[in-house]
Structure formats: C-alpha cells, structure tokens
Structure 1
Amino acid sequence: MRKVFHFLGCKVTRFATRQELSSLKAQRLRQEIAVNDVTVPDQNIASLVDIYGRHHTYLRISLAEKCNLRCTYCMPEEGVPLSPSHNLLSADEIVRLATIFAANGVTKIRLTGGEPTLRKDIVDIVGRLASIPGIRQVGMTTNGIALRQKLEALASAGLNKLNISLDTLNEAKYMIITRRNGFNKVMRSIELAESIFDQVKINNVVIRGINDEELTNFVSLTEFRNLDVRFIEYMPFSGNKFEVRKMVPYKEMLKAIDKKFPVIIKLKDLPSDTSKAYSVQGFRGKFGFISSMSEHFCASCSRLRITADGNLKVCLHGNSEVSLRDALRAGASDKRIEAIVRDALSRKKKQ
C-alpha cells in the first residue's frame, strides 16, 4: 500500500510499513467501537422527527451520478442520462448541508453514487464531513473498482465504515452481471480493506438464476474473515427490466443456507437496522438479509437521502423530491434549509 507523507511542504509517496498499517487499523477500530453504539437522539438537539415518531439520524449523500460499471440490476448497458456537472453539488455545498443536518440530530453519513470514488475530491469531502460536530460515522458504499489506490487516504481522513458491492465469486459471471472487467480489482480492494477496518461489509444483490446458487459460498467467506455479507433482495429500479420471478425472498435464501450449515444463530438487530443479522456457529464474521421487497423496514426507517444534484428524498425508494441545491444557490439561510427539510419530512409516508 502506498502512503502519502508531507515533508517540507512536498508530497512524498512510498509504501506503508506493516507498523503503519497496524496503527491505522487500530485507529479505525477505536472509531468503529464508538459508532457501533446505539444512536440515542440528543435531547438538546431538535431531532428530525416525522409524524409517525421516526427519528432521522442517518443521511445518505450521493456524490456522483456516474458509475464505472453497468450492473444489470441497476442500469441499462448504455448508461443513464447524466446531469451537467454544474448541476451537481460542490464539496462546499455537501459539507454545508451535512452541517445543517448534523445540527438537527443526524449522526451518521453514508456516501454513495453512482460510484463515489469517481469524485476527485472525495478524500477532502470525507475529511471535512468527519470533522463536523455531531457526526460519529462516515461510511461509504462502493463497487471497489477504483477504491484500492484511495482507501488508505480515505481511512486517514475519517472514513470508518465501508460497504463493497460484490455479487459473485466467479470472474466470468462478474463480467456478465456488471458488463465490465474488474473482478480482481474488487477482490484486492476487499483484502486491503480488511487490513485497515475491523469489519468490512459485502453487499450482494441476489438474482434467481444468476447468482442465487452462490449464497453458501459467500457465507463460507465469514468462517475465518471478519466480513458482514448482506444479501439484498432484487428490486425494481428505472432501467433494470425488473422481473418478479428473479426476486429471491430472504426466507428462501435463509432456508438454502440453513441446509448447508449445521447451526445458524440469529443475532440481535437494532431498531434502526435494515439487515436481519445471522451467523454460523463458530464463524468469525456474520451475514444478513436486506428484505426490501418481502419484509420492508419502513416502520423503523431513520434514513434520508440527498441526490448528487441536491434533491432531498425522505423515502429512499420513493419518487418525491425537493431541491436543496436550488435553495442553497438562491441564498437561503441554514434556518430556511432546515424548514424545507422539516416540511418535506412532514409529508413522509408511513410506508
């Protein structure tokens, strides 16, 4: 791994030593212990609460619309129409919005895309977000293709949670699913991430007839590695030509896994968790299911999303949006932005 040092005002790049890697991993572990505590709304902060009493402490921010893959379950092969670059949020706008949300009870931020590592200023953004008072967790979901060369800098800047998407352990099948070549890059990114973070999450979208026979292979990864493999039910997105017959309900997945392994343990889920967590007795890591289709988790939803072009979505899978970017660029005060957010939240549906 290469490490960047600053010496007499100049950047010097060399490979990090084993001691430096161990130190960085220890730093990440201390941060992860802190952010894994149950989030309790600060009584001194005016929390973002909807009419159903749901406290919103988790903000997902899309950093980019572009992606360097064309996953069949996500977008068409020709890609999707992209917003002009000037319509996307700048780093300053992202940080300002995050600061407003943090002042209103948000403690966790997750960076998504598109593919977030395609942003050239991602390390700067992570560092600035991690320094916002009240923000305890800065995580990222990535496909892992361009992650390896940026990961150490991201971790040093304050990234303390990481999800890497990997839908198959077969290189040829990876090319079929993603329509791109990058399997080995992702595997190397996962290995490097394990040397830095105490636990790495693997996101796996399960599609019948494509990768559903690999469930037990992914669970086997958790025997000696501290991985958290999350199987995600295939769901409709614009452009993915969704077919309900390809959706594998989580109970069917669990049944298939249970046939392979002798003792499956149900782990405790926190009220705000989206994943139903399990482990195989004696295994180091764990696995879980995100059952967005068969058993939604709307009743405990604590999440809000800001799109790359600055729209607020109070439901991750809904179509209703309100532009925070336009308000920012029109000169709105922080209080006005907060009022817009609360007004949108007041209209959030129960499910």
Structure 2
Amino acid sequence: VHHVTSARKLKAPLISSIRKRNKLGDRLTGDHVLPFSAFLTDSFGRRHNYLRISLTEKCNLRCQYCMPEKGVKLTPRSQLLSTSEVVTIARLFVQEGVDKIRLTGGEPLIRPDLLDIIIELRKLDGLKTIAVTTNGINLAKLLPRLKEAGLDLINISLDTLAPAKFEFITRRKGFHRVMEGIDRAVELGYSPVKVNCVVMRGFNEDELLDFVRLTEKKPLEVRFIEYMPFDGNKWNFKKMVSYQEMLDRIKQQWPNLERLQTGHANTAKMFKVPGFEGHLGFISSMSDHFCGSCNRLRITADGNLKVCLFGNSEFSLRDILRCGASDEELLQVIGAAVGRKKKEHAGMFSISQMKNRPMILIGG
C-alpha cells in the first residue's frame, strides 16, 4: 500500500548530496552555537526541528474522517517501535536539532508506557517542548501524572459540541469525558489548551460560532482544520469548508476579529476576538497550503519516516535500527529521505486520488 524504501536503496547516491548540502542556520545547545543539521535540512532550505512520533495505531474512538468504516488492519505489536526504540530515534533527532516532539497515535494515552516515554524524552538535552495530541477520553484521569512527567503542551480533538453528533462522528460515547479533560487541562495551568476541530460541510460547520465562544472565558486555542483526504474516509471536495469561508462566517458575528502575528513555521493562521481570553486558528492544508515553511517530520508507530503528511513515500527506520545500524547510518537514511522531500504537496484533487495510509495509521 505504501512506498517503503529500505536503507540500501538510499545509501547512494543521495548520501553524498547530504554531505555537500549547505548547513543553513544555527541552533543553540547549552552555551554553544552549532550549525543546524544538514541531515534535517532539505533541498529547499527547510529546517526540520519538529518531530511527530505516533505511539500506537489503536484508538478508543472510530472517527469517520480518520478511520475507514471497516476499520484498519493493525500492525503486529512486535513490529511497532518499542519504548527504547522510540527514545533512541528521538535522541538522534534531538541531537541534530529537533527541539519539539509531539506524541500522537491512534490515541497515545492508551499506550501503557506513555509516562515512561515522556520521562525519558524529558532527559534529552536540547528538547524544549513535549506535546501530545489526544482525543481527550482518558485525559482528565491521566493528566496530573503526564504533567509531572514533563508534558508541556496538549492538543485535544473535538469536532462537535453536541453529544449526539459526537457519538455519530466518533461511533462511540464519551463527549462529557472530553469536556472534563479540557477543563482539567485548564485547571492544571496549560495555556493555551489547543482544541482541534475538523470542519465538515453538512456536519458541523453550523457550530463554528459556538466553538469561537469557547474562547471567551477560557485560555483555549480553537483550531479549525480543513477536511483532508485520507484512505477510506470518503473525502470529497463538497465536504470541505475552506478557511476563507469559515473566516467570513465568523466575521459576520465578530467583524472586529483581530489577526495575530505568528512564527514563520506556524501552520495555523491565528485570530482573536477582542476581549476574549483565548484565540482561534485556521489550518488551511487544502485551500492555502503552508508547504514552504514546513518544519515537521513524522515517525509512524511501525517505525517509518514520512517527510510529508500527504506523501505516500516512507522510509523504514525500524528495520535498520533492528539490524544494529550505527547513529551515522541512521542519519544517512534520514538525511537522504529529507533530501527527497518535495517542494509542496500535490494539491487536494491529486491527494484525494493518491493511495496513502488512513490518518489512524499516520498519526496526524
């Protein structure tokens, strides 16, 4: 299904191009300034300092846009990355300049060793931010321990504020547990608590204003995400509500909506209703992509490196790691994969025809 490339295929001739590639920019390690890793710099000069690691393919929800109705064939547990393999790969990326790691799934909070992984990641010199993306079902119960272990940021997926619609889209109960998790995160001092909402025409675009109102009295960052095509989610253009359409609807209610300045690599276009405590963002992956500033790489739960969320090429780090590869050999594979990263994704229509993993098997 996926194009998975082995280490042997990558070791030539791209390795030489990695060594020739200019080392663009600087990174700080303690008191020392080091060149940013050539292995994590692509041919367009994009520096990848953000790594997303999927910890599991399993989930306790069955969201329609994420998982095909018939479900997915799970990878045998022995073929998923172990605790030590996750930490080994993370250490290597951090040594090369990654300063933010996000743990995803499936649902990462159902992985039994999640706390152990966060504790080990916290020990990595140079890693500034550890984040988790969760569906929130188990968040209220686990969050105190997650915070103690060193979790910095939380993204919670929530696509509706109506319990009945929640059950429809997720094919499970649990709306009130998610809301409890959001409140618990606020109580424990997380600010902002990010709430990810995938907007789908005919399902929840009529709730845009209700989601904005969530930011009035709580330090939430509600992020509206354009519906994206992945295998089995029956994507079609008519279901997608564009960033501009969402913005126009919100401005009808709040015409004084303020645009906020964001960093170069920020994927969200940020806004704020004056006087509201929180703010909102739009992730316009389909209608107005941000490929030119992309700084992220992804590791799937079975150990494949994806350099683009919408690309179907993958490179197995698990296989060469289990063959006893040295750090240098791993870096050569990583650098060759990053060097092949395309300037931008193929566009929404081409992506919708492309064979790719379902979102549940990518990790977002």
Q: TM-score, normalised by structure 1?
A: 0.88
Give the CA deviation at 1:202: 0.1
Among candidates 289, 302, 310, match of residue 282 of structure 2: 289
User: SS of 1:245's equivalent?
Assistant: helix
**2:241 matched to 1:248?**
yes
Aligned amino acid, residue 117 of structure 2:
I
Alpha-carbon distance in structure 1 between the residues aligned to 2:158 and 2:166? 8
Aligned partner of 1:41 in structure 2 is: 27
Aligned partner of 1:238 in structure 2 is: 231
Aligned amino acid, residue 254 of structure 1:
L
Q: Which deviations, in whole Å up to 9, do the C-alpha atoms of 1:43-72 show, x marking residues without a partner?
A: 414422111000100000000001111111
**2:180 matched to 1:188?**
yes
Contact in 1 for aligned 2:36/2:47 (Cα 8 Å): no
Among candidates 305, 309, 320, match of residue 313 of structure 2: 320
Among candidates 72, 75, 85, match of residue 83 of structure 1: 75
- Which has the higher relative contact order, 1 or 2, with Cα contacts under 8 A spaced 6 or more apart? 2
Aligned partner of 1:208 in structure 2 is: 201
Contact in 1 for aligned 2:258/2:274 (Cα 8 Å): yes
Contact in 2 for aligned 1:203/1:232 (Cα 8 Å): yes
Aligned amino acid, residue 231 of structure 2:
S
Alpha-carbon distance in structure 2 between the residues aligned to 1:295 and 1:113? 26
Q: Alignment identity in percent? A: 55
Aligned partner of 1:121 in structure 2 is: 113
User: Which aligned pairs between 1:70-109 and structure 2 lie closer than 5 A?
Assistant: 70-109=62-101
Q: Which deviations, in whole Å up to 9, do the C-alpha atoms of 1:135-156 show, x marking residues without a partner?
A: 0000000001122211111111
Q: Which deviations, in whole Å up to 9, do the C-alpha atoms of 1:149-183 show, x marking residues without a partner?
A: 11111111010000000000000010111110010
Among candidates 318, 326, 343, match of residue 333 of structure 1: 326
User: Which aligned pairs between 1:252-263 and structure 2 lie closer than 5 A?
Assistant: 252-263=245-256
User: SS of 1:202's equivalent?
Assistant: strand
Alpha-carbon distance in structure 2 between the residues aligned to 1:168 and 1:247? 16
Contact in 1 for aligned 2:26/2:36 (Cα 8 Å): no
**2:257 matched to 1:267?**
no
Among candidates 132, 140, 147, match of residue 148 of structure 1: 140
Q: TM-score, normalised by structure 2?
A: 0.84
* Deviation larger for 43-52 or 136-145: 43-52
Contact in 1 for aligned 2:26/2:34 (Cα 8 Å): no
Alpha-carbon distance in structure 1 between the residues aligned to 2:281 and 2:139? 24
**2:32 matched to 1:62?**
no
Alpha-carbon distance in structure 1 between the residues aligned to 2:160 and 2:87? 35
Q: Please identify runs of 4+ aligned residues in structure 1 that moved more than 4 A.
A: none
Contact in 1 for aligned 2:101/2:131 (Cα 8 Å): yes
Q: Which deviations, in whole Å up to 9, do the C-alpha atoms of 1:62-95 show, x marking residues without a partner?
A: 0000111111111123321100000000010000
CA gap of 1:114–1:240, structure 2 versus 1, over 3 A, is same
Alpha-carbon distance in structure 2 between the residues aligned to 1:281 and 1:146? 33
Alpha-carbon distance in structure 2 between the residues aligned to 1:130 and 1:236? 34
User: SS of 1:73's equivalent?
Assistant: coil
Structure 1: segments with no counterpart, 5+ residues: 1-38
Alpha-carbon distance in structure 2 between the residues aligned to 1:219 and 1:112? 25
Aligned partner of 2:156 in structure 1 is: 164
Contact in 1 for aligned 2:197/2:224 (Cα 8 Å): yes
Among candidates 41, 44, 52, match of residue 52 of structure 1: 44
Alpha-carbon distance in structure 2 between the residues aligned to 1:149 and 1:294? 38
User: SS of 1:321's equivalent?
Assistant: strand
